[in-house]
Amino acid sequence: MDVFVPFDPRDPNSRLSSVLSADQRRAFAAAMLTDVLDAIRATGREPTILSTADLDRSCAVVVDDRPLTEAVNGVLDATTPAAVVMADLPLVTPEAVDRLLDADAAVTLAPGLGGGTNALCARHPGFRVDYHDGSYRKHLASAEECGASVHTLDSFRLAVDVDERADLAEVLLHGEGEAAAWLRDAGFEIEITDGRCTVSTAAGGR
Ligand SMILES: Nc1nc2c(ncn2[C@@H]2O[C@H](COP(=O)(O)OP(=O)(O)OP(=O)(O)O)[C@@H](O)[C@H]2O)c(=O)[nH]1
Ligand SMILES: C[C@H](OP(=O)(O)O)C(=O)O
């Protein structure tokens, strides 16, 4: 099974601009990518990065500068079965990747909090993606349209994608890889606000 990891290094994680500078966002996104690639490799599979620009990584890289949906559908046009695992999932574990890839359904979807699709495995040649704006529901419809059976994977490790400041607390709480280490080195810490774990930018970030 080919596993593709979409990655756009140009201006990553723009929704974190209030806490991280552009250079910090690039470094943090690269650390998250490393965590995702490590988890996939630990399952015995070799990932391919689907990037918008050339990358200096010891990994197969396919460059396609079209928007995300078109680039991933380009992959699905050429490759079935195929899996797509986003690069902003720093909590992902090899066990979670195995569960995604071992599921029998024609289409397996790992939803993100907020209705996105953090990872998927497509065994049906007719399935195509349509990312953003609550893509999980669109992908359920897309699978139904082509008559593919669907499995929704219940995985905390795949559900946490890093979009906003609150997501950084999850990385500090549960992450064990480069992204969590990068945040700690940058001075970010957990603090309790109104009884919940939040991320403190007192010593880190902007
Ligand atoms: N190949 C490719 N990957 C993309 C593209 N846009 C986003 N990605 C990747 O897709 C995943 C999900 O991205 P998003 O959450 O939509 O965007 P982001 O850059 O992480 O964050 P924001 O700028 O805050 O939206 C991340 O791994 C991105 O690197 C694109 O146009 N092409
Ligand atoms: C890639 C996209 O991410 P979001 O815009 O939901 O963070 C999606 O999962 O559809």
Tell me the CATH number at 16. 3.90.550.10
Predicted pLDDT of residue 66: 98
Do the domain assignments include residue 19? yes
Q: Is residue 180 part of a domain?
A: no
CB 73 less than 6 A from any atom of ligand 1: no
Nearest-atom index, ligand 1, CA of 33: 27
- Residue 188 falls inside a structural domain: no
In a domain, 56, yes or no: yes
Mean pLDDT of the chain: 96
d(CA 16, CA 203): 16
Q: Is the pLDDT of residue 172 over 70?
A: yes
pLDDT for res 126:
96
Ligand 2, from 7, 13, 139, 161: best to mutate by most atoms within 8 Å of Cβ? Answer: 161
Rounded to whole angstroms, how far apart are CA atoms 200 and 66? 36
Question: 198 CA distance to ligand 2 centroid (A)?
Answer: 22
Q: Is the CB of 12 under 6 A from ligand 1?
A: yes
For residue 203, is pLDDT > 60?
Answer: no
pLDDT of residue 202: 60
Asked if residues 113 and 159 have their Cβ atoms less than 8 Å apart, the reply is yes
Does residue 193 belong to any structural domain of this protein? no
In a domain, 27, yes or no: yes
pLDDT digits (tens, 9 = 90+) for 78-91: 999 999 999 999 99
Q: Which residues line ligand 2 (CB under 6 A)?
A: 112, 116-117, 131-132, 135, 161, 163
**138 located within any domain:** yes
State residue 196's pLDDT score: 95
> Is there a domain that residue 156 lies in?
yes
Q: Is the pLDDT of residue 188 over 90?
A: yes
- Looking at residues 125-134, what average pLDDT do you find? 97
For the CA of 131, the closest atom of ligand 2 is 10
Number of domains in the chain: 1
CA distances from 137 to 60, 70, 117, 129, 132 (A): 31, 18, 9, 11, 10
Q: Please state the atom number of ligand 1 nearest to the C-alpha of residue 64.
A: 1
Judged by its nearest atom, the ligand closest to the C-alpha of residue 111 is: 2
What digits encode the pLDDT tens for the residues 45-76? 999 999 999 999 999 999 999 999 999 999 99
**Predicted pLDDT at 206:** 55
Among 2-6, 55-59, 180-184, the minimum mean pLDDT is found in: 55-59
- Closest ligand 2 atom to 68 CA: 1
Say if residue 204's pLDDT is above 80.
no
Helix (H, G, I), strand (E, B) or coil at 5: strand
| pLDDT the model gives residue 201 | 76
Where in the sequence is the domain holding 125, given as residue range(s)? 2-163
